Amino acid sequence: MIAATHVYKCFGKIEAVKDVSVTVKKGEVFGLIGTNGAGKSTFLRMVCGVLKPDDGEILIDDRPVYENPDAKRDIFYISDDQFYLTNATPIEMMHFYKDYYPAFDMERFKEMLVKFQLDSKRKINTFSKGMKKQLSVLLGVCANTKYLLCDETFDGLDPVMRQAVKSIFAGELTNRDFTPVIASHNLRELEDICDSVGVLHQGGVLMQKDLEEMKLNIHTIQCVFANQTDEEQLLQVLDIVKAEKRGMLNLITVRGKRDEILAMVNAYSPIFAEILPLSLEEIFISETEVIGYDIKKLIF
């Protein structure tokens, strides 16, 4: 488990990360969402021990990570602009990482290079951005670490490669002790892979939510009532996140269990009522509007 508690990091007068508390459970896919400059990269660099927090604490399986080689061996960090040795080939980078990560699976790495059609002996500095991204993911997966930290990993990958990488992550989660943390500026990119998501804005965490729990506990109802009295009484008993009216039609986003919400609505004898499916994007928009933020301006 990764546990960050009241973490701060400043560069001069700039507060890159301020009072961030995040928990990443073992074996889950955690998404860290935020615009460029929100503090995602700085936070990940502290998690992997590259940077030391100015205040607060980051523990990896109850161990401090900064200046702790044993803890760092459980983490592979893929930066937005991954470092490669000058004029190195994929095979040379494989040997480079094998020296630090003893469990690095060299045979699997070679096989995956063939599947991804990456030339093992070609100089990496001649690769395209997308090819470099693919290579960094293969190195990270084959290092066989418990934690894989990915900073904008899907940026630069075409749709087919994005799905291929997600499939690899799914396989790793099934077959071994594996916890990926994926930072991105785009929530839609992570909707189908993450178990929970934290939204980072201006160095601080707006919210951290379990996605399945969110989907089960927030719904939008569209309904029409014969008289205004029934409508007003219903609005008083629901746990409303957002409500709007279009002519006779009410659109109400509410918290609660689906069956319980429907029972409450039907108790007021609506002419028409149904629950609409909500996308993850719509859920986050509703949640963050409640705490005073327009998330559409932050991550879409």
Q: Structure pTM?
A: 0.80
What is the per-residue pLDDT for 213?
76
CA-to-CA separations, 287 to 116, 189, 274, in angstroms, rounded: 39, 19, 21
Q: Is the dihedral of CA 139, 144, 148, 154 positive or negative?
A: positive
- The pair of three-digit structure tokens given for residue 13, joined into one six-digit string: 């007068």
**Which residue ranges does the chain devote to CATH 3.30.70.250?**
214-299
Identify the CATH assignment for 214-299 out of 3.30.70.250, 3.30.300.10, 3.80.10.10, 3.40.50.970: 3.30.70.250
CATH topology of domain 2-202: Rossmann fold (3.40.50)
What is the per-residue pLDDT for 99?
93
For the sheet containing 14-24, what is the strand order? 14-24, 2-11, 55-60, 63-64
What is the per-residue pLDDT for 287?
62
**Which residue ranges does the chain devote to CATH 3.40.50.300?**
2-202
Q: What is the DSSP string of 37-73?
A: TSSHHHHHHHHTTSS--SEEEEEETTEE-TT-HHHHT
- The pair of three-digit structure tokens given for residue 144, joined into one six-digit string: 């066989």
- The pair of three-digit structure tokens given for residue 73, joined into one six-digit string: 């061996």
* Tokens 């630090």, located at residue: 100
- The answer to whether the beta carbons of residues 20 and 43 sit under 8 Å apart is yes
The residues, ordered by sequence, that sit 6+ positions from 108 with a Cβ below 8 Å of its Cβ are: 142
- The answer to whether the beta carbons of residues 58 and 47 sit under 8 Å apart is yes
The Cα 103–Cα 237 span in angstroms is 57
Q: For residue 177, what is the DSSP state?
A: S
pLDDT in tens, the chain (300 residues): 999 999 999 999 888 998 889 999 999 999 988 777 788 899 999 999 999 999 999 999 999 999 999 999 999 999 988 889 999 999 999 999 999 999 999 999 999 999 999 999 999 999 998 899 999 999 999 999 999 999 988 877 788 888 888 899 999 999 999 999 999 877 777 777 888 888 887 777 767 778 777 777 888 899 999 888 988 899 899 988 888 888 889 999 888 888 899 899 999 989 999 988 777 677 766 666 655 555 555 444
Q: What does the CA dihedral 235, 287, 197, 68 come to, rounded to 10 degrees?
A: -120
Q: Residue 156 CB: number of other CB atoms within 10 A?
A: 16
b/e 48-65 (16+ beta carbons within 10 angstroms → b) = bbebebeebebebeeeeb
What is the per-residue pLDDT for 294?
53
Q: Residue 105 CB: number of other CB atoms within 10 A?
A: 16
Helices and strands, number each (H, E), in the chain: 12, 14
- The answer to whether the beta carbons of residues 47 and 75 sit under 8 Å apart is yes
